[in-house]
Amino acid sequence: MLDVVIAGAGPTGLMLAGELALAGVEPTVLDRRPTPELVGSRAGGFHSRTIEILDQRGIADRFLAEGQITQTTRFASTTLDLEAFPTRHPYGLGLWQNHIERILLGWVEELGVTIRRGTEVAGLDQDDTGVHVLLAGGGSLRTRYLVGADGGRSAVRTAAGIAMVGAEATRSNLIAEVEVTEETPVGVRIDDTGIHGLHVMEDGRTVRVVVTERQLGPATEPTLADLGRALRAVFGTDFGIHSPTWISRFTDATRQATAYRRGRVLIAGDAAHVHSPAGGQGIGLGVQDAVNLGWKLAQVVRGVSPDDLLDTYHAERHPVGARVLKHTMVQSATQGGDARSEALRDTLDELLAFDGPRTAFTGLLSGLDVAYDVGPGHPLLGRRVPDLDLDTADGPRRAYDLLHEARPVLLDLGPGGLDLGGWADRVRHVAAGCPGPWELPGVGAVVAPHAVLVRPDGHVAWVGDGSPTGLPEALTRWFGEPVSGRRG
């Protein structure tokens, strides 16, 4: 029996595969594409928190070396500056999805992950011990857990009987990469139909086209003729488009799965939530799903934690997804050229002129304000740990360097004396000096704690005030019972 089968080798599936491999679990990734190359550029990058997550695994530089850094983002027509935000990465990264997948694939291949190409899930049957995965074209696999990272039309989600609920589409866009015979006006345009954009790609020959359709398009694959009609309706010409690399249609439909888990089947990324690309949060949201799920699933598979640890995946990520989806609907509503959209843009621009709302929306879009409900207490609880400059016995270290192996860390910053006891085999104990106060995005300065217990996903599970009170309970909750019953 396989440990974990992941359906889908996009950014979410690849990130999850890497997380599981780091945690000592062997994933098997199934992807319906016969080759790893993604046709077309697809999505266009991610925000600060996703870069931090990649930094936690020691691979951020691979992406930064190829992408385009931008220190601003937008909500409605307001530019939000990230430069003063308290993070080592106060910027977003422009990088097409085909390059993101290529880099992630290189990482998981280094970790020895198995990927089966040209293989698609057709159905499933689960019981108390595992999941029987039926494959398109015949054959099957048996696995302890199955994760659907297979996109908005997820076969895994459908077969598991998980419903998607939300707002139906009101507008559709065509997106394509084509060659042209006429000169094209590069840039973004908003009119009564919606938002449109033309962008010349790296080869200087291909043009990336995004155009809003006058009427809601059908749920079928669009053609070059469809694209031509949409362009002529907006620009008066189709620019002589020909030789398409790819053409697709997306809408402003916004739906979320009612459950991210059903028994031994889990879903992540677009399989769990679909939304307008307004705000550019799609890839980052999926990567963050994967990093929240990966270490939990690995601990359950290895028998370190009970199965109900997986319930915290839905409990933590579903509210985060719902909040992002709500704001993508607002962003999408501002992209029309009609009087109502203009009034909404103007109102939001007035609101975002104030420091409080501007900081709050910047935290949302960057992903830096996520705070999981791990219990009451210190403002650090549930938030991502800052990438602190630490003074350790081995010399200066960054906090995120300690997370490269995806292991939990007890960061002992006080007088010392904390004892991990029966958890020392699975939690790293690091004594370090670090001056305070600490700066949290959207929160401000907080008093530096004496100690923090950091989960593999970088979020704080316990904060110490100079005593070990509550530490054994937090260790047990998140990382299982101590070895031989020896508690710290």
Domains, the chain:
2-167+255-366 (3.50.50.60), 172-251 (3.30.70.2450), 389-485 (3.40.30.120)
**Which helix (H) or strand (E) covers residue 43, if one does?**
none
Structure tokens at 156: 């895994």
In a structure prediction context, what are the per-residue pLDDT tens digits for the chain, which is 488 residues long? 999 999 999 999 999 999 999 999 999 999 999 999 888 888 889 999 999 999 999 999 999 999 999 877 888 889 898 888 999 999 999 999 999 999 999 999 999 999 999 999 999 999 999 999 999 989 999 999 999 999 999 999 999 999 999 999 999 999 999 999 999 999 999 888 899 999 998 888 899 999 999 999 998 999 999 999 999 999 999 999 999 999 999 999 999 999 999 999 999 999 999 999 988 889 999 999 999 999 999 999 999 999 999 999 999 999 999 999 999 999 999 988 889 999 999 999 999 999 999 999 999 999 999 999 999 989 999 999 999 999 998 899 999 999 999 999 999 998 767 999 999 999 999 999 987 778 999 899 998 899 999 999 999 999 998 889 999 999 999 999 999 755 65
Reduced to 3 states (helix: H, G, I; strand: E, B; else coil), residue 125 is strand
∠ CA(35), CA(199), CA(37), 5° rounding? 5
pTM (global) more than 0.75 = yes
Q: 80 near 358, Cβ under 8 Å?
A: yes
- Number of other residues whose CB lies within 10 A of the CB of residue 330: 15
Structure tokens at 484: 């031989």
Residue for token digits 């260790």?
Answer: 475
Reduced to 3 states (helix: H, G, I; strand: E, B; else coil), residue 164 is strand
CA distance 295 to 424: 17
Structure tokens at 264: 């031994």
